[in-house]
Structure formats: structure tokens, C-alpha cells
Amino acid sequence: MCKVTYFVQSCPTCGRKLQVKVEYLGLEVSCQHCGANFISQDPTSLPAPIANPVDDALHKADAFLGRGLTNTQFPTTFGTN
């Protein structure tokens, strides 16, 4: 019988902890909770610092909502009354 080894990685979009097979290390995987795609990484390696946390949060929100927006210019006022 073959044993499968997993490591735990947090989804970079929703933050949920996921069990990822070791054989998928370095490959694109999908979060089973929010559906976001990301590259699985060694859990012992340190993440790169975020250069712009506001843009990072916007991109995570867009990915979570399934829009996948990049380089989006947002209006200075939202909505029309």
C-alpha cells in the first residue's frame, strides 16, 4: 500500500489551511474553498515581503470574487446617485 504525504499551506487568497500532496510542490493548485489558483510552496520557506499591501489586498479580493482583475484603475468615486 502506498502512503501519501501532505504538507499544510495557507491559501494566499482566503487564508484557509489546505493539505497539499508533496508531489504537487511547485505546481499550480486550486483552493477547495474559494477556488483561487496558486503555486504550492515549501512551507518552511519564508514568503517574500509584500511591496504594496493595499494592491495585494485588492488583487486577493478580485481573485476571491473570481474577477481576476489586474492593473485595474478604480474610479475616485464609486456609484452614481
Q: Does residue 75 belong to any structural domain of this protein?
A: no
pLDDT for position 3: 81
pLDDT band at 17 (very low <50, low <70, confident <90, very high): very high
The structure's pTM equals: 0.53
The answer to whether position 17 is within a domain reads: yes
Q: Of the candidates 62, 46, 43, 66, which has an alpha carbon nearest to the alpha carbon of residue 54?
A: 62
Instruction: Give the CATH number for residue 14.
Output: 2.20.28
Q: Indicate the average pLDDT of the chain.
A: 78
Task: Give me the pLDDT at residue 71, please.
Answer: 54
Q: Which amino acid is at 53?
A: P
Residue 57 lies in a domain: yes
In-domain check, residue 70 = no
The reply to whether 29 falls in a domain is yes
Name the domain count of the chain: 1
In a domain, residue 56? The reply is yes
Decide if 25 is inside a domain: yes
Does residue 77 belong to any structural domain of this protein?
no
pLDDT at 72: 54
Whether 56 has a pLDDT exceeding 90, the answer reads: no
Please name the amino acid found at residue 19. Q
Higher pLDDT, 58 or 72: 58
Which long-range CB contacts under 8 A does 63-69 form with residues at least 24 apart?
63/13, 63/34, 63/36, 64/13, 64/14, 64/34, 64/36, 66/35
